Amino acid sequence: MTSRWSRYCSSLPCNQQQRPASRTVYVGNKHPHDEEVFIPEIYPDNKIVSSRYTSWNFLPKNLFEQFRRVANFYFLCVGIVQLTIDTPVSPVTSILPLVFVITCTAIKQGYEDWLRHKSDREVNHREVEIIRDGHLTTTKSMHIKVGDIVRVKSNKGFPCDMVMLSSADPEGNCYITTANLDGETNLKTHCCTIDTRRYVHEDDFLKLTAFIECEHPIADLYSFVGNLTIVKDSGEHIVKPLGPENILLRGARLKNTPFIYGCAIYTGQETKMALNSNTKVTKFSRVERRMNTFLLIFLVILLLESVFSTCMKYWYVFRPTVGQPWYVPQIEIDAQVTVRRVFEDFLAYIVLYNYVIPISLYVTIELQKFVGSMFFAWDKDMFDPGTNERAKANTSDLNEELGQVEYLFTDKTGTLTENDMQFRMCSINGKRYEELGGMLCETYPAGNAPNPVPVLSDEMETFLTVLVLCHNVRVDHPNAADLGASTMYSYGGFDYEYQASSPDEKAFIEACRRFGVVFHGTHDDKLEVTFKGEMRRYKLLHSLEFDPTRKRMSVIVQNENDEIYLLCKGAESAILDRVIEGDKSGTLLHVNEYAVLGLRTLVIAMRQLEPEEFTKFDQMLSDARKSLQDREQKLAEAFDFVERDFQLLGATAVEDRLQDNVPETIQALLTAGIKVWVLTGDKEETAINISHSAGHFSCEMNELKITQQQSSLDCAELIRKHSSTLENGVRCGEKFALVIDGASLAYCLIEHADILCDLCLKCSAVLCCRMTPLQKAEVVKLIKNSKTNPVTAAIGDGANDVSMIEEAHVGLGIMGKEGRQAVRNSDYAFAKFHFLMKALLVHGHFYYIRIANLVQYFFYKNVAFITAQLFYTFFSAFSEQTLYESWYLMNFNMVFTAFPILMYGIFEQHLKPSLLMGNPKLYRKISRNENMSIQNFILWNGTGLWHCVVMFFGSLFLLGEECSLFSDGKMIGNWSFGSIVYFGCLVTVCLKLCLHIYYWSLPIWLSFAFSAFSYFVGTAVYNSVLWPEFFSDHNYLLYVWNTVLTSGSVWLLELVLIVLALVPDIVYRAYKDITMTMQLGHQRQMECDSSLIPLRQLSYEETRKFIFPYVTPKSSLQNIHSNQNRPKLIQPKFTGRSQKRKHVL
């Protein structure tokens, strides 16, 4: 309690001090002895709070949140009005439904929050081990303080964010999995500083005096800047830089290491996991926006009806020809017309007509979306047995938006492709090589057979040395002990299992192993590699990690001869400009050839460092890593100093195969009217080739390119030129595809975003290559905010796709091999790209049709129900007399008509899923929010008005001459007339829903049965009991309903009026079904006709051009048309334009 009060007091503006640029954490909470007065900084405790409410603030906070909704606040106001004025209907009719809605929502939210409290309690009370006063003690996780030394055992989670101090591993390493943070299941290696790894017992930490300077908490999981300062007994300060590899985050779990010690630096709500748990920006669907518009329209209608009725009342009463009715009390006749009296009458009409606003609309939609999202996860067709992953809906608010997508932005690697890299080719010193049958073979451009390389040359050894050393791969041995680093050798390396965060690096290491160059891991701070059985050891001096800006990675190693080398790999654009030695033109030619084949390429280079040069760089790097301010910039300067004057060794080419059914999926999306854009970081040639093989680009498209532009002016001129070309070509029926790279896009977005957007919108397909993650989001935003305001969707699998996933209207994540950050930040996720077709064409279609018809039906049935009250005022002298008894008003929306439309919204399937999958064009019929258009809104509510007119005036016509409907001559009165109109209206709106149902499942049947049962049984009980005053202040319906239903004339009247009212609906349903059947039949006929391509005889030259690339050299072209001597066709080499490539091995 004291700590809470002190934190509260310190948070007050009068007590707040200027926050330092960084925080200082004393290891083991040992405060410095050289300071006379030490005031420790107050940090939050390690208690996790994910709940929204407490026991004392649940009621006021929840009510406040619920009444922020317009509909709830409106009905609250109506209830208050009914309690304050002489209301024409009982206040229960508004208050009871409102209480029901508020209670249901509060129970749902309270239960969800109770689960959060339960989860928090489990985490906060988990036992942990900490060192205090040199002794290892056990305490609860919530009691950990910043500076405590925590011991974590194998397979346990880290209770807070810690800087690693030591490990059971003699090398000071530990292995963790971060699946709870980013979804990555592969083990990651973290390490401590060399100076602290000897502290492996609790007594050892009594000798340690150190403090940590680090940045304040930030949400970035992969960024950390800090220094560890160790104070020697002599007073000497030893400063060691700390980076992301030294920090262990809450949510991660220790693996393959008996134990570690760490110092807590971020606790509780300041941990990176907690900072990443903040709710995302709320997205709203088009249906929800249009629904709010409809609510505003009905509010305006309600006000107009109330104003009109109020004016008509006073006009009617004060007409000279009418006079004062005998039944009006004299006090009301003599009363003057005051503003208050007019306002009270106006409010009375508001109460009378307020049922045109459906109070249960929000609750029904929430239930419909919540249950509907479960079907997305339960879909067996979207379950991937290979990864054992099923589809996942992270939100239910955007279900219907899946049926409105107009633009799809997709990543390439891991989304369109498998992200399973296989080494295929390489270029070494200007010579081509490829892997055939596990052997490295030299290839020749003349088409001769590849020649296996029996012995590795010096150039090849050097090339493979870079591949086998320049990486962050970890070696596991299946028979090794607990430690992650293998302590058992495998001569051929085939017993090893390589763990890598990058699929490219794993492909390189496995390819080297097949060529006889085996990486054995790190032992005694040395990288061990065998070349055909000969062991070589390299000391790793520095590892310069890859980053998107440099687009390269380097390591600095020292061989057994004490020679220092920098080994580098990266994009050709990031390395070739820094090369001073080697065959640049030949290597670049091979890189472009590999890119045309759809292969991913990297350039390999190295340089030898002189001791003096390395010493200077080592000092620069050390200073940069110790810096707490502008560390990234200083590191970039140090990297730039050493990564230059390269010797070019060659290039690599790895294949990333397309996922199954990608071309079919993209073609279906294009047919559905969805424009597909590919946004990738790959080079231009590779991206273009993948676009062709994936069906994104077609052979009839003309390619327009905005690439390699050097200025904004050049970009503008090229855009205008392409726009002119496109306009002329479109008139001739031509299609165009646009290719733009990241560098040119940067110029275009600054000053020419509008004309670029116009050009892109007119193209059939757009490919953006060499893109940064931020540029992907900018492209999505460009189209999202264009003139047409289309619905956009973005799909990706990696952390670099998160920005565009969050920017798009609908974010889609692929459960791939680059972690789960995309899945965590997406709205919907699944394992394979081709599941997207089912997600959009089937689930999206169903979601949209269900919710659109549900919203329209809610407004329709209220118009059909309550408009009769407006008609009735003309026949009641505008006397504010209600037509319906309070029982009817209260239960119409909440009970009698609630469940059928809810079941419709959950289970309806107006077309078979197979039909939607086979006819993507059907998706176009619901685009641009078609079913929620103003035309459909008028059609639905016009139908409701027609049904009300038939029910009200039809009943009035029968009873207008004061005729008796009973054999004993009894007459019917106001409540009998209202009951007749009510029953006809209730049956009509239910049958209207039946005409929209195409899939009669058991829940739908049961919902209609419940409605009928609740109406007949509930009304029979209500009108058969003389209720006490505390329950009802009147008994207007006492035996009225029972008496009315004994008349055969009433039943005949209801039958005739219901049939008459539904005739237009029946005709429209028949017309719609016939039209749909004819359209589907015509479409199938068109597809059959298009599959029959007319053939013509080819000339000799045409035949020669067609078949020459596929005939063997021994075949004779003169015998092409001979049936007896056909040329022998051979399998072509892979070109990258085929979904499933076959390789000649």
Q: What is the DSSP letter of 800?
A: G
Other C-beta atoms within 10 Å of 970: how many? 12
| Mean pLDDT of the 229-235 span | 83
Say what percent of the chain tops pLDDT 70: 86
Residue type, 332: E
Give the whole-angstrom CA distance, residue 351 versus residue 893: 16
Q: What is the pLDDT of residue 578?
A: 92
Strands of 671-772 (E only): list them.
675-679, 701-706, 735-741, 765-769
Q: How confident is the model at residue 484 (pLDDT cuts 50, 70, 90)?
A: very low
Strand pairing of 810-814 and 828-830?
parallel
Give the whole-angstrom CA distance, residue 754 versus residue 588: 36
Q: Is the pLDDT of residue 289 over 90?
A: no
- Do 984 and 1051 meet the contact criterion of CB atoms below 8 Å apart? no
Question: φ and ψ at 145, to 5 degrees?
Answer: -115, 155
The phi-psi region of residue 222 (left if phi > 0; otherwise alpha if psi is between -120 and 50; otherwise beta) is: alpha
Give the whole-angstrom CA distance, residue 254 versus residue 187: 9
Residue 552 structure tokens: 């390269």
Whose tokens are 């009301």? That residue is: 332
The 10s digit of each residue's pLDDT in 833-884 is 999 999 999 999 999 999 999 999 999 999 999 999 999 988 888 888 888 8
Across the chain, mean pLDDT equals 82
Residue 900 structure tokens: 């059928």
- Do 471 and 509 meet the contact criterion of CB atoms below 8 Å apart? yes
Tell me which residues are annotated as active site: 411
Give the whole-angstrom CA distance, residue 112 versus residue 381: 30
The 10s digit of each residue's pLDDT in 46-86 is 988 878 888 888 988 888 888 877 778 888 888 888 788 77
Q: What is the pLDDT of residue 116?
A: 79
Instruction: Spell out the alpha helix ranges (H) of 135-178.
Output: none
Strands of 935-1024 (E only): list them.
none
Nearest of 280, 266, 279, 281 to residue 48 by alpha carbon: 266
Q: Which of 521-525, 610-614, 1053-1057 has the lowest mean pLDDT?
A: 521-525
Q: What is the DSSP string of 39-98?
A: -PPP---S-----S--TTTHHHHHHHHHTTSHHHHHHHHHHHHHHHTT-SS-THHHHHHH
Q: How confident is the model at residue 900 (pLDDT cuts 50, 70, 90)?
A: very high
Report the DSSP beta bridge partners of residue 830: 814
Q: How confident is the model at residue 334 (pLDDT cuts 50, 70, 90)?
A: very low
Q: Which of 18-22, 278-282, 520-524, 526-530 has the lowest mean pLDDT?
A: 278-282
Q: How confident is the model at residue 150 (pLDDT cuts 50, 70, 90)?
A: very high
Q: What is the pLDDT of residue 1115?
A: 37
- Do 179 and 77 meet the contact criterion of CB atoms below 8 Å apart? no
CA distances to 68, 860, 948 from 1060, rounded to whole Å, are 43, 18, 12
The 10s digit of each residue's pLDDT in 79-99 is 888 788 777 777 777 788 788
| Mean pLDDT of the 180-199 span | 78
Long-range contacts of 952-960 (CB under 8 A, 24+ apart): 952/867, 952/868, 952/871, 952/872, 952/981, 953/871, 954/984, 954/1053, 954/1056, 954/1057, 954/1060, 955/980, 955/981, 955/984, 955/1053, 955/1057, 956/875, 958/1049, 958/1053
Angle at 464 between CA 463 and CA 470, to 5 degrees: 95
The 10s digit of each residue's pLDDT in 688-707 is 878 888 889 888 888 899 98
Whose tokens are 């931020």? That residue is: 774
Q: Return the top range by mean pLDDT from 390-399, 436-445, 621-630, 996-1005.
A: 996-1005
HEC per residue, 1090-1139: HHCCCCCCCCHHHHHHHHHHHECCCCCHHHCCCCCCCCCECCCCCCCCCC
Whose tokens are 């064409």? That residue is: 841
HEC per residue, 576-624: HHHEEECCHHHHHHHHHHHHHCCCEEEEEEEEEECHHHHHHHHHHHHHH
Q: What is the pLDDT of residue 1001?
A: 92
Q: What is the pLDDT of residue 782?
A: 93
Q: What is the pLDDT of residue 893?
A: 87
Please give the residue that has the higher pLDDT: either 497 or 400: 400
Q: What is the pLDDT of residue 418?
A: 81
Q: Is the pLDDT of residue 1144 over 50?
A: no
Residue 588 structure tokens: 């670049």
The 10s digit of each residue's pLDDT in 449-462 is 788 888 888 899 99
Q: Which of 6-20, 118-132, 1062-1076, 1130-1144 has the lowest mean pLDDT?
A: 1130-1144
Q: What is the pLDDT of residue 1087?
A: 57
Q: Is the pLDDT of residue 17 over 60?
A: no
Angle at 766 between CA 762 and CA 769, to 5 degrees: 150
| Mean pLDDT of the 527-536 span | 88
Give the whole-angstrom CA distance, residue 746 versus residue 1043: 79
Please give the residue that has the higher pLDDT: either 1025 or 738: 738
Q: What is the DSSP letter of 688?
A: H
b/e per residue 351-363 (b: at least 16 CB within 10 A): bbbbbbbbbbbbb
Nearest-10 Cα torsion for 1023, 1026, 1031, 1034: 80
DSSP percent split of the chain into helix, strand, coil, nearest 5: 50, 20, 35
State pTM to two decimals. 0.76
Q: What is the pLDDT of residue 328?
A: 54
Instruction: Spell out the alpha helix ranges (H) of 395-492.
Output: 458-469
b/e per residue 734-747 (b: at least 16 CB within 10 A): eebbbbbbbbbbeb
- What is the Cβ-side half-sphere exposure of residue 93, based on CA atoms within 13 angstroms? 23
Q: Which of 33-37, 274-278, 530-534, 797-801 has the lowest mean pLDDT?
A: 33-37
Nearest of 987, 876, 882 to residue 93 by alpha carbon: 882
| Cα-to-chain-centroid distance, residue 947 | 43
Instruction: Spell out the alpha helix ranges (H) of 876-933.
Output: 886-891, 898-907, 913-918
Q: How confident is the model at residue 335 (pLDDT cuts 50, 70, 90)?
A: low
Q: Is 425 helix (H, G, I), strand (E, B) or coil?
A: strand
The 10s digit of each residue's pLDDT in 948-994 is 999 999 988 877 666 667 666 666 778 888 888 999 999 999 999 99
The 10s digit of each residue's pLDDT in 1084-1128 is 666 555 444 444 444 434 444 444 443 334 333 334 333 433 333
| Mean pLDDT of the 1016-1023 span | 87
Residue 17 structure tokens: 């001090």
Q: What is the pLDDT of residue 525?
A: 76
Nearest of 379, 345, 286 to residue 832 by alpha carbon: 379
Q: Which of 489-498, 595-604, 946-955 has the lowest mean pLDDT?
A: 489-498
Nearest of 861, 882, 876, 860 to residue 353 by alpha carbon: 882
Q: What is the pLDDT of residue 1145?
A: 23
Q: Is 961 helix (H, G, I), strand (E, B) or coil?
A: coil
